Structure 1
C-alpha cells in the first residue's frame, strides 16, 4: 500500500510518512518521571503530534513489561460541561473502552455498572482506578488526552478525583499519570456552575513537571518529505526546503498539509516522474491558505480571545500598544498565546511562522475584501505590469471614503489602517499575484511584498513584477517617520530584490483634515527612488 502524508489524526506508521514520535520527546526524562511515580503534564498546540506521541509511549512502555500503560481520549466529556454525572460517566466509559481495545482487558468494563451504583460520579473515576490498579500485576501508567477540552465542574471533579488517590499509588492507583492538552494546567481558568473561578494549579497541585512537545526541526522537515522521494522516486527541487522551513517553522500539521497539497491534491504531481519545483510549491501553499481548513480556522478563532488579541495586535502594528487600550499584558497571557502555537518568543517575540502571518490578516479582513469592488484590470498597463502609482492614488481615495466605517468594524482597531491596506491589495491581486507580509514587535512597520506575474500562461515561472510597500503609523513627527521609513523600505527592497518600492504613512490624528493627510512625493535613499504616500 502506498504511503501518504498525514494531515488528519494520529500517525499510522504503515500508512503515513512520519517522524518517529518517540524521538520528538525527551524519552529519558519522561521515563524518569514515571519511575519516580510522578504525575505530570504534556502539552502542545493542536495538531502537533501529541496523540501520536502518547500512543507510541503507551506501546513502548507495554513492550518493556515493567508497567501496564493505557492511553485514553476523554474529549467526549466536553459536551457535559458542568454536568458532573454526565461528564465523569463519559470519562470512565472511555477508560473502559480503551482498556478493552489497547490491552484486551475487559475488567474495567465489567466494573462500570457496580461503580456507577455504589458511588456518585464525584468519586466514580477514583473508585474505578483504585479497583483496577489493585487487580493489575504491574503498576498502571495512565495517559489522559484532551483534558483541557473539559470545562467547569466536570474538569474540577476529574482533577480532584485524580488527586484524591495520589497517596495510594502505585498499588491502588496509577503509578504515574500524564495529563495532555493544548495548555499547561496553570492556564486552566475553570468556571464553576456557582460562578467561581478556580485555577488548574489549585485543583491539581500534585503536578511534578510540565513538558512541551516541540515542532519538527528543519532537518526533520526535509527528512519527512524525502521519505516520499525514497518511496516514489519523485524529486523535490532543493530550493523548496528553505521556503518550507520559513513557512512552517516545523509546525507538524503545516509540514504534512503542504506536502499533501503539493504531491496529491495537485493532480499533475501524481505522475511521480514529474519533478516538483519551487513555483509548484508556492502554488500549493496558496491553495492551502485559501482552503481555510479546520486547523487554520481554529487558529483564527483564537484571535477573538481577549488574552490573545492585544499581543497579536501589537505584532500586526509593529509596536507596543498603550496600556490604556487593553490593559497591561501579563506574563501568563503571553505564555498562553505561545502555548497555543500562535507566537514564538525566542530570539524575539513574533508570529510563529510565515503561513500564520499570511492567514491572520487575510482572515481578519476577509469580509472587507468581499466588499471592495476594485479589480486588478483597472490598474494594469499595456505591458501587463500593475500601475502602482494609479493603484496607490486609488487607495488614498478609498481610505478617505471608507476607513472610518471599516476600521470600526475590525476587531483589531489599533492595527486597522494596516489591515485595510492589506485587504485592498489582497482584493486586487487575488487569483493573480501574491502579497507576502513581514511584521514584528519593535519594528514600527508592516512590510508588504507584492509579486505580480506578467505572463498569464507562464505564471510565476515567467517574468514577475516585484514591489515593496512599507506601512508606518505617524508617531514621532513626519520628518523622522519619513527618514526612518525610507531606510527601512530600502533595506527590505534590497532583501527581496524588488524592482519598485513605496512607503505609506498613516496619520491617525482626527484633528488633521484629509486635505493635509493625503499627499505623495518621490524621494531618494541610496540607490532607491521610491514613492512616499501620506494617508
Structure 2
C-alpha cells in the first residue's frame, strides 16, 4: 500500500504521486530542442521528484545523467573538481550498467569535459542529458566560471559533442548565471516548479481514499489545500499526520482531526520544512517583522536583495505588488516565532481570581462582549506599559488580543486561530469553542474610509461562514476613550470595539 511521502524524491511505487503535465511538457520540449536551461524551487517543492521523472521519460531515447553538486563546496582546483565530477558520472553510469573505460588520472582540467561527453557517446550511442542538482552549492566562483565557459563552448557545438541538454537545478533562481553573457542559459528558458494546484491536491488525497477506503471530509480537503497552499512537502506532511496519527484506523478524517494536526504543526512539531523557512526569515528579521505585523506595507521589489533572498527561499511572495507570506501555515508558524515579547503580561490578563465561568452564557456559548470588557480593564491597567512610545504594527495588537483570549478560551477547551481562511480571504482571529465559531477582524489607526471598508469586510466574512454576528476591533491612538457600537442589519450583528492606545508614559503611571 502506498503512503503520503514526506521526504526525498517521491517513489511512485511506494508513494502517492501527482502528475505535473504542463511543466513536464515544457521541460521535455527544451530537451528535444537542444536547450540548456535552469530549474528552481524552494526545498520540498517537488523539483527533484520532477527531474527524476524526466529521467524516466527520456532514458529510452537519450542518456540522462542526474548528479548533485551538494558536496562540491570547498573544491579548490580544477584537478580536484574534475576528479569528483568524473566519480559522480562513473557512479551514475555504473548504476545503469554502462562502462565507458574512463581513467580519472587522464583528465586534469575543466575544459576536458567535452572529451568525457565524447567517450560516453562512443560507448552508448546516446546523446547525453546532463542534470545537475544543488548547483548553488558550487561556491568556487573561479571554477564555476570555467565550468560554465566550457559548457558554453560545448553548447555552440552541442550536436557535434552530443550533449543534448544541460539542466541546472537549484533552490533559488540562478540569477548570477542568467545575467552572465558567457552563460548558455537563456533567462527565457528558466523553469520554476510551481506548488500543487487545488485540483492536484485533491487528486493526491483521492488516491489515498481509493486505495484505503478512508475518506477525508470535504472541509478537511479544503483546509489542507488552504493551509499548505499547495506546497508539496506541507501538503503531504499534513495528510500523513492525519492518516497515520490523528485518524489512524478511523473511516472518516474530520475537521476535529485536522485541528489537532494544525495545532501540533504550529506548536509542537519540529518540521524540517518550516524550520528551514524560519531559519531563512531570521536572517532578515527586521524586514520579516514588518511584513508580518504591518500588512501590505512592503512593496515587492526583486531588486532589493533582502526581498530577493526571502522570495528565492520560499518565505515570501508577491501579492498584488506587496510582500506577503502566501502559505498560511508558514504565516502561522512565523507569527508564532516572531510574535512580540510581552513576558509577564499573562499575570495581568488573568489573575488568580479570573476564570472562564463568568464569560459562558447559559446555553454554553461564549459571551465575547463581556470578555472584551475584561480585556479593556486589562488595557486600562497596562496600556501605558504596553503601547506608549512604541511603533506597534497591526499584527502586534492582534497578538496581544490573541494571547488574552487564548488564556480564557483554552480554559474551556476552545481554540483561538490567527489568520484563518474564510472563503476567499483571511480573518484575523477565529475562536472555535463548543462547535461554535466567532470571527474577529482587527484594525489599527485607520481612517474613516478604512473604517467603512473594514465593516464591509467583516460582514462579508460573516456571510460566507453563515453566522449571525462578528466582531471588529479597532485600536486607535487618536480616540479619547474606549467605545462599543452595535450595528445590526438583516438580522446580522456587528460588534465594534474601539480600543484606546494613547496613554500617559509609563513613568507617570502609579
Q: Same fold (TM over 0.5)?
A: yes
Cα offset for 1:46? 1.7
Change (3 A) 1:206 1:177: same
Q: Deviation digits for residues 73-96 of structure 1, max 9, x if unmatched?
A: 221224x27777766654443333
In structure 1, the residue matched to 2:385 is: 401
Matched with 1:10 is 9
- 1:226 and 2:212 equivalent? no
CA shift, 1:437, in A, is: 0.7
Question: CA separation in 1, counterparts of 2:384 and 2:97?
Answer: 69
Alignment partner of 2:326 out of 337, 352, 367? 352
Any residues of structure 2 matched to 1:198-209 within 5 Å, and which?
A: 200-202=178-180, 205-208=183-186, 209=189
2:194 alignment partner, SS class: coil
What's the counterpart of residue 114 of structure 1? 106
Structure 2 gaps of 5+ residues are 502-510
C-alpha contact (below 8 Å) 2:292/2:335 kept by paired residues: no
- Farther-moved stretch of structure 1 (416-425 vs 8-17): 416-425
- In structure 1, the residue matched to 2:416 is 434
Cα distance in 2 for partners of 1:416, 1:26 equals 37
Decide whether the 8 Å contact of 1:248 with 1:355 is kept in 2.
yes
| Deviation of 1:298 (Å) | 1.1
**Equivalences, count:** 476
Q: What secondary structure sits across from 2:218 in the alignment?
A: coil
Partner of 1:12, secondary structure, is coil
* 8 Å CA contact retained: 1:134, 1:171: no
C-alpha spacing 1:166/1:331, structure 2 compared with 1 (3 Å): same
Contact 1:500–1:530, Cα closer than 8 Å, also in 2 = no
Q: Is 1:389–2:373 an aligned residue pair?
A: yes
Kept in 1: contact 2:420–2:430 (CA 8 A): no
Q: What's the CA shift for 1:235?
A: 1.9
Where do residues 240-255 of structure 1 align in structure 2 (5 Å cutoff)? 240-255=220-235
TM-score by length of 2: 0.79
2:168 is the alignment partner of 1:179: yes
Deviation at 1:6, TM superposition (A): 0.4
- CA–CA distance in 2 between the matches of 1:348 and 1:85? 47
Instruction: State the alpha-carbon separation in 1 of the partners of residues 75 and 381 from structure 2.
Output: 50
- 2:29 pairs, out of 27, 32, 35, with 32
Give the structure 2 partner of residue 368 of structure 1: 341
Residue 121 of structure 2 is aligned to residue 137 of structure 1: no
Map 1:164-313 to 2 at 5 A.
164-172=153-161, 174-186=163-175, 188=176, 200-202=178-180, 205-208=183-186, 209-266=189-246, 269-272=247-250, 274-290=251-267, 291-306=269-284, 310=287, 313=290
Aligned partner of 2:438 in structure 1 is 467
Pick from 477, 484, 494 the counterpart of residue 528 of structure 1: 494
Q: Mind listing any 5+ residue stretches in structure 1 that lack a counterpart?
A: 189-198, 455-462
Question: Shift of the alpha carbon at 1:212?
Answer: 1.8
After TM superposition, give the deviation of residue 257 of structure 1 in Å. 0.7
Alignment partner of 2:97 out of 94, 97, 104: 104
Alignment partner, residue 492 of structure 1: 461
The one of 53, 67, 70 equivalent to 1:72 is: 67
> What are the Cα deviations for residues 484-509 of structure 1, in whole angstroms up to 9, with x where unaligned?
4444444434444566644444456x
Choose from 43, 48, 52 the match for 2:45. 48
Flag the 1:521–1:10 CA change in 2: closer, same or farther, 3 A: same
Query: Is contact 2:69–2:132 with CA below 8 Å preserved after alignment?
Result: yes
Determine if contact 2:476/2:499 at 8 Å carries over to the other structure.
no
Kindly indicate whether residue 313 of structure 2 is the aligned counterpart of residue 318 of structure 1.
Answer: no
Residues 311/292 of structure 1: CA separation in 2 closer, same or farther (3 Å cut): same
Question: Residues 496 and 238 from structure 1, CA distance in 2 versus in 1: closer, same or farther, beyond 3 angstroms?
Answer: closer
The residue number in structure 2 matching 1:95 is 89
Indicate conservation of the 8 Å contact 2:4/2:240, yes or no: yes
Question: 1:419–1:353: structure 2 CA closer, same or farther, 3 Å change rule?
Answer: same
The 8 Å contact of residues 474 and 507 in structure 1, kept in 2 or not, is answered as: yes
- 1:256 shift after superposition: 0.7
CA offsets 1:450-469 (integer angstroms, 9 cap, x no match): 31424xxxxxxxx33x3333
Backbone CA RMSD of aligned residues: 3.8
When residues 204 and 437 of structure 1 are mapped into structure 2, their CA distance, relative to the original with a 3 A threshold, is farther
Q: Shift of the alpha carbon at 1:276?
A: 1.5
Verify the 8 A CA contact 2:62 2:129 in the aligned structure 1.
yes
